[in-house]
Structures are given as C-alpha cells and as structure tokens.
Amino acid sequence: MTELLRVIGDGDEIPDAEVPDGLNDKDLVEIYRWLILLRTFDERAVALQRQGRIGTYALYWGEEGTQAGALYACAETDWVFPSYRQNAIGILRGVPAATVLAWWRGFGGVHGFWDPREHRVAPICVPIATQLPHAVGLAWAAKIRREPTASLTWFGDGATSEGDFHEAMNFAAVMRTATVFFCVNNQWAISTPLDKQMATATIAEKGAAYAIPAIRVDGFDPLACWKATKEALERGRAGDGPSLIEAYCYRLKAHGTADDPRLYRDEEEVERWMHLEPVGRMRGYLKRLGILSDEHDEEIRAEAKASMAASVKEMEAIDQPDLEILFEHVYASGRPWTFDEGVEELRSVERPPEVKPIGPAASSGAGEEGKTQ
C-alpha cells in the first residue's frame, strides 16, 4: 500500500495523467486561484507575525493542495472541520480573511468569530485530533435526519497517535457515517519524525483496522487530492460509510512561527521535496495544457494580493474585544456565576499595552515573505 495516486506530473520526469473526469478548464483555473489565495494569505500572515501585528501563526506553505483540492470536491452543504494547519480554509467559503487574521491576533473577527452554520466551516481546532469526533458526529446527525450532508476533516500524521483518531474512525465505521478522514502526512509532528511517531509504513493501512477503505495520494498534487476526496464523498453519500485519505507530502517550512526546524532536521532533505510544491506544479500543468496565460496568472495573483491587503486593514481596524469574549460560546445559554466572578477579577487586572509593530518583516525559516511561489 505504498503506491500514490497522482494526476499532475512534476513537469520533468513524471508525466501528467489525464485530466480527471468531472473537471473542466474553468474548474482547473479555479482550483489554481484557490491555491493562490491560500498561499497569499499564508505568506502575508507570516510577515504580520514577524512584524508583531498578529500573535502567533501556524503556516501551511506547501500544503495548499491538500486544502484547495479536497474542498473543491465538497458540495456546499458538506461540512469541513479544520485543524490549526487549515486555519484559512474558511476564506474559500466566504469567511472574511480579516476574521481569520484577527483570530491569530487573539481578537474576535469583524462580527466576532464566524458562525460555523453559515459557512459549514467548524471552528479551528488546536487540540490535536479533537475535530475528528466532531466531524463524525455531524455526519451521523445528518444521517439520522436523512440529509445528504457529508463531513470532511483534516488532521496530521501525529494526530493518528491520539485516542480521538481511533475513536472517531471506529465510530464512523460502525455507524457508517459519510465522513472523509483526510490525513495530511507531512512527515513531521513538530520535531517528531514519522518513524518515531508510528511503526506502520503508511497511515493508509490503519484504515484496515476499522474496515475503512483507504487510499494514498500525492499530497502536493491538488488534483489527486480532489479525485480521492470526490470518490470518498460519493461513497459516503451512497451510504457506504467513511473513507481514509493519506496525503503524503512533506512539511516544507517550520511548524509555526515559534519553531526553528534547522535545530532538528536536515535542510537538504527539505530541498529535495521543494520542487514538488503545489503552486508552481499546478501552474506548470495549466501552462502545459495551454489554459493559463502569463497575463491571467498575473491577474489572479494581483487580485489575491489586493484582497489580502484590504483584509489586513480590516483586521487592524478591529478594536480589542471586551474580556467577555473569553467566555462567549462556552455555554449554549446561561452561564455559571463563577464566570461572572472571573470576568470581574480580570477587569481589575491592568491590561498590558497593545503590541505595536516592530518594523519590517525579518526573513526566517518560518516563511517566504513576499515570495508568491
């Protein structure tokens, strides 16, 4: 089970496969536009963090194909459950980019955090693997209500060592929920490499323990991610239960802005994977097909840049929220008196002055500020 599903070649040694059934030229360019939106967000967010304008940030540079490709396969009514690594996925579903940036600043968004029901995008999950049972629960509820809604959740290789992964997989299989378990195997869980994380050769083979069909795809290939997700969703909707997708790739940058991977891994290894990154690869593919001109490419990038610049302004215009925000959304209705006491106590503590930008972005191992590919 080590073979990888791949559609886009590397423009050099690996030839392109046929354009998958169900995608036309417009779709292909739209997936590319999504990749550019995600990439632009990611690079800008790293620069903002370096300038002290947001607090911290978990970058996903190189993993855009696992996000855009998988989401493009979803119906609008399907729900998605991101981890911190897919933090900006909502921008492809109408969540304002300013709201996501504000989240990283520790503020609410333009109108507080987004309403998951409006965009069918669950809140960003930071505790590892906790979004998996949520995704199963949603698909189970949809099944009980006889709604055609499926759920998709992303998680990392490290997350497969968590109890929540096993519980969610088992529950989904037994209840035959329409859930797609999309594992982004970037081969690192912070500084822990894959072979210190698990004893199996692949993540896909774990599906067998739960009788869940599994596939391995090239995680740097947005169309392979699309194809596998599409098939998994169709299976789920037909009543055939969950699927596991292992998107095999490599974490090309730091774990987050507080991490320096040079301390624990060989940068030459990173370089060996770099040529497979999805944005340049998809661009090359579209050009080989003759459906993306340089001018159109330039237009797509300029639009993404302009919309991101507007989002940064919008984010910075958001006032520091009231302390009450800490306790919002904890209870559906009412709240215990201890929360009121907590707010009062916090109000009596002097708040530190707001962090001010500290100058231009410094270059680091965390990102490629200013570079779009």
Ligand X SMILES: Cc1ncc(C[n+]2csc(CCOP(=O)(O)OP(=O)(O)O)c2C)c(N)n1
* Contacts within 8 Å (CB) and 24+ apart, 313-321: 314/96, 314/98, 314/110, 315/97, 315/98, 315/99, 315/101, 315/102, 315/105, 316/53, 318/98, 318/102, 318/107, 318/108, 318/109, 318/110, 320/107, 320/354, 321/107, 321/108
Examine residue 188 and tell whether it contacts ligand X (CB under 6 A). Answer: yes
CB of 2 to ligand X, least distance (A): 19
In the bound state with ligand X, the residue whose beta carbon lies nearer, of 65 and 241, is 65
Q: How far is CA 337 from the centre of its chain?
A: 37
Count residues near ligand X (CB under 6 A): 15
Q: Cβ 213 to Mg ion, closest distance in Å?
A: 23
- Out of Mg ion, ligand X, none, what residue 69 binds, judged by CB under 5 to 8 A for its kind, is none
Kindly tell me which residue out of 90, 133, 137, 158 binds ligand X, with binding defined by CB under 6 A.
158
- The CB-of-192 to ligand X minimum distance in angstroms stands at 7
177, two tokens: 């929920």
Instruction: At 369, list the tokens.
Output: 């500020």
CB-based contact 195:39 (threshold 8 Å) = no
Burial class (CB in 10 A: 0-12, 13-18, 19+), 354: exposed
Which residue ranges make up the site for Mg ion (CB under 5 A)?
156-157, 186, 188-189
Backbone angles phi, psi at 180, to 5 degrees: -105, 115
> For ligand X, which is the closer residue by CB, 7 or 204?
204
Query: Is the Cβ of residue 42 or residue 157 nearer to ligand X in the bound state?
Result: 157
Positions in 60-99 near ligand X (CB under 6 A)? 85
Residue 157: CB atoms within 10 A of its CB come to 23
Q: How far is the CB of 264 from ligand X (least distance, A)?
A: 13
- Count of helices and strands (H, E) across the chain: 12, 7
How far is residue 41 CA from its own chain's centroid?
Answer: 12
Tell the smallest beta-carbon distance from residue 191 to ligand X (Å).
9
Helix (H) or strand (E) holding 312, with range, is helix 294-316
Q: Binder to ligand X among 159, 172, 180, 232 (CB under 6 A)?
A: 159
By CB under 6 A, name the one of 75, 141, 174, 190 that touches ligand X: 190
85 interface partner picked from ligand X, Mg ion, none, CB below 5 to 8 A per type: ligand X
Residue closer to Mg ion (CB basis): 101 or 189: 189
Q: Give the interface segment with ligand X, choosing from 17-25, 167-175, 186-194, 352-360 (CB under 6 A).
A: 186-194
Query: Which residue number is nearest to ligand X in terms of Cβ?
Result: 156
User: What is the binding site for ligand X (CB under 6 A)?
Assistant: 85, 126-128, 156-159, 184, 186, 188-190, 251, 255
